[in-house]
Amino acid sequence: MAKLRASPSGPLKGTVRVPGDKSISHRSLILGALAAGRTIVSGILEGDDVLSTAGALRALGAHIERTKDGRWVVDGLGLGAMREPGSVLDLGNSGTGARLTMGVVATQPFTSFFTGDASLCKRPMARVTDPLKRMGAQILARSGTRLPLAITGSEEATPIEYTLPVPSAQVKSAILLAGLGTAGETTVIEPEPTRDHTERMLRRFGATVHVSDEKADGKMQRRVTVVGEPELRPAPVQVPGDPSSAAFLAVAALILPGSEVRIENVGMNPLRTGVFESLREMGADIRFENERKDGDEEIADLVVRASALRAISVPAERAPRMIDEYPIFAVAAALAHGTTRMEGLAELKVKESDRLSAIANGLRACGATVAEDGDALTVEGLGGPLPGGANIDAALDHRIAMVFLVAGLAARSAVTVDGTETIATSFPGFASLMEGLGASITPMNR
């Protein structure tokens, strides 16, 4: 396995761009493949996860290629025109790619076999397969509804109204994509709004989507409805920088004294910016400049300066807006003044790893005091650098790998991370980009 060491570093300085948004990259390829005609996608994340999704869509009949100027061309087949794949669809480490593609094939009249790497094959799929079965798909899986599994799509799929047991944009999106192949309206009810890239892009490609907020049992919930069997038309997509990736750079700049970093062209979808809201509550100096809208998505440049952070409490209802960013946010909490409590983190337990335990155990190894309490995490801030000196196993999780490399930059002693090859799934070039800003991150075999 690849191993990197992050050593105590001076201030970070410079202007950079992070790779394209992973969520939007997946969806642009999928909807481009379902539309009849040619879709051009610019700024796509060329990480392993998105490449796995592209490979699965090619196996289903779509023609997808990268041009010399870095754009991606998707020649879609039209809704309902995909063909039975001649081999197993291997989604690698991509939970998003696997779950969304399951939604796509759930209403296609053929059988598809899904697999992934060791990490993906441990992740639960019942939250997606249960509603897809209700829509008519036949699914056979290993115990615990894990990959590998087989899906035989229904020729006469049934639209459903489904209330998400827990907030999940992946599950919502899988159901909405399956709903495209049904006659009638398919509705997902969310107890808490989750990222809405799918809804925005469905409209862009010509589908009719209704979104409304309503009160039920004294609580607000969101209804998202897609009208089935639309004629999807190609649409150009410009993918903004991934806010989840930008969060790693932002936290690194905040906790290294004297830092000032400008991160250009970051997606600022309101359902993705919870981490920046939380950091600013902690006293972070983060400015949003050049705010604009490009296509369906809000975008801004972030200017981040090193700051003295103070502890806060992050409410459970904010979790859907920053679920992927809690790991790096916990590092900021460990260096802040006071005790930070984060609630509503159950979803972290079923990511590429059990991220809740991985964060807690890794921070303890670096010298922080951390407590897990059900789906909550409490971090006692040191008000300064972590002791560090730890050797962290990333457990095939790209975000955990990056989290503890950032932690090592602001520690008294270097932190070594095993399994850093997984970083390529979401942030190819992470280490070299950080080094360009002034960080000390070195391969252990060099």
CB atoms within 10 A of CB 210: 12
CB atoms within 10 A of CB 219: 9
Q: Is 324 a catalytic residue?
A: yes
Q: Of these residues, 117, 242, 301, 324, which one is catalytic?
A: 324
CB atoms within 10 A of CB 4: 26
CB atoms within 10 A of CB 214: 10
> 175 Cβ partners below 8 Å, 6+ apart?
103, 131, 132, 135, 160, 162, 186, 188
> 130 Cβ partners below 8 Å, 6+ apart?
none
Distance of CA 292 to the CA centre of its chain: 22
80: left (phi over 0), alpha (psi -120 to 50) or beta: left
> 143 Cβ partners below 8 Å, 6+ apart?
none
How many alpha carbons fall within 13 Å on the CB side of residue 422? 24
Distance (Å, rounded) from C-alpha 155 to C-alpha 107?
A: 6
Distance (Å, rounded) from C-alpha 384 to C-alpha 309?
A: 9
Distance (Å, rounded) from C-alpha 198 to C-alpha 269?
A: 12
Distance (Å, rounded) from C-alpha 23 to C-alpha 170?
A: 9
- Do 14 and 55 meet the contact criterion of CB atoms below 8 Å apart? no
Burial class (CB within 10 angstroms; exposed 0-12, middle 13-18, buried 19+) of 290: exposed
The residue type of 169 is: A
Active-site residue list: 324
